[in-house]
Amino acid sequence: MRQGKYALVSNYFFMAKKKEVAPSLIDTFGEFQEMKNINLTTMVGVLEESFRSVIAKIYGSDEGFNVIVNPDKGDFEIYRNRVVVEDEELEDDNREISLTEARKIDASYEVGEEVTDEVIFAKFGRRAILNLRQTLASKILDLQKDAIYSKFKEMEGEIVSGEVYQLWKKEILLLDDDKNELLLPKDQQIPTDFYRKGETVRAVIERVDNTNNNPKIIVSRTSENFLRRLFELEVPEIHDGLIVIRAVARIPGERAKIAVESYDERIDPVGACVGVKGSRIHGIVRELKNENIDVIPYSNNPYLLIQRALSPAKVSTIRLDDNAKRAEVFLHPDEVSLAIGKGGLNIKLASKLTGYEIDVYRDLDENDIYLEEFKDEIESWVIDALKNIGCATAMAVLDTPREKLIEKADLEEDTVDHVLAVLRAEYEDIEESSEE
């Protein structure tokens, strides 16, 4: 396809003086501008530069030559300027012309005057025309690469569509409507994505690299920006700026949380994003291969935001350490598993959404004790493993079946037995003290 485009311009040069046959230069440029995003001024400059490059190869230098490209008339002219010298003083044919040769052009020429004569490019021969074609093709290709890089660099973060053209092990090649190449790496694909050649895929432009003037457009379907842009497409209020997306957290293909805020008190931001009977969010969920999406109202109050981010769990108390960006969240024992979520997804997303590292604790009974109190008898890494499965207190551990502690916390049987023995001994001491 590129060769065809270059041939279009090259053919013009062969027929430049046959205006009844040759296409208009401005029409030719118009086609290039449309297909390659190269404007008229740039194309004229490229033509002049290409002519000068060929002239320099033929004459050793392009100094003294004037190249005039007329896009309105669809033709070009080349002129050479030389100074008249005595025949025996001629040293440089490019800059000087003998008096005898000058008077063949015009008998009135005298020594010291400047002679301007037209150079007929067609007389340079077939090789010169081929050189011009190659030079022009190379320069246009470079311009095309620059134009592609600039265009897509400005589009970073925007959604594009492309047709699956080639499937490889580590990436997929997509072609957009203008046949630009888009690369979708494996790590930027949703785990449940499955592609067939010829199908249309939507993704967001993650970044545009330019190595050795070869633009490389990387697109992503796992980026948080992809989720943002999908909401902008599906929710007019977001596109219009009435609703703002404040924060996004994703585990691609699994679950996502998005915090939204309305600038119009009459508009419910969550309701607007979800739509009537989920009409707006369903399309986004399908695009993301059934990724579950929680939409929550944003708040500047970190306590309230954390509480909403841990939904559907109901939070009892929150302790914040703003300097360390940590939050200790206390919940009723029945709510702990909801806060953590399957595979820890809910608490991970809540942490990403709020910017706080969240630790979940059970509300303490009067006899309950935090595991940190046993650091002198139980190693810290063991306590952390137990906390990761929602067992932050002694009673939470004791209420959990031994087999579950071994499996979920990924601990050795001896380790779990040691922990249980330490905790039981503590409560036996408490009971003995109470009896006394």
CB 417 within 8 A of CB 406: no
φ/ψ bin of 204: left (φ > 0), alpha (ψ from -120 to 50), beta (otherwise):
beta
Helices (H), 210-289: 224-234, 236-239, 269-274, 279-287
For the domain made up of 155-222, the CATH class stated in words is: mainly beta
CB 193 within 8 A of CB 221: yes
For the record, the structure tokens of 295 come out as 């939409």
Instruction: Write out the chain's pLDDT in tens, 436 residues.
Output: 333 433 334 444 434 443 333 344 444 444 454 545 566 777 778 778 878 888 888 787 788 888 887 776 667 788 888 888 887 888 777 778 888 888 888 888 888 888 888 777 767 777 777 777 777 778 778 888 888 898 999 999 999 999 999 999 999 999 999 899 999 999 999 998 999 999 999 999 999 998 888 899 999 999 999 999 999 999 999 999 999 999 999 999 999 999 999 998 899 999 999 999 899 999 999 999 999 999 999 999 999 999 999 989 988 888 888 899 999 888 887 788 889 988 889 999 999 999 999 998 877 666 778 888 888 889 989 988 887 776 777 888 888 888 888 888 889 999 999 999 988 888 776 555 555 4
Closest CA to 230 of 299, 293, 184, 186: 293
Question: What is the Cα–Cα distance from 333 to 362, expressed in whole angstroms?
Answer: 5
CATH number for the domain whose boundaries are 2-149? 3.30.1480
CB 378 within 8 A of CB 389: no
DSSP secondary structure letter of residue 263: S
DSSP 143-179: HHHHHHHHHHHHTTT-EEEEEEEEE-SSEEEEE-TT-
Domain segments of the chain: what residues? 2-149, 155-222
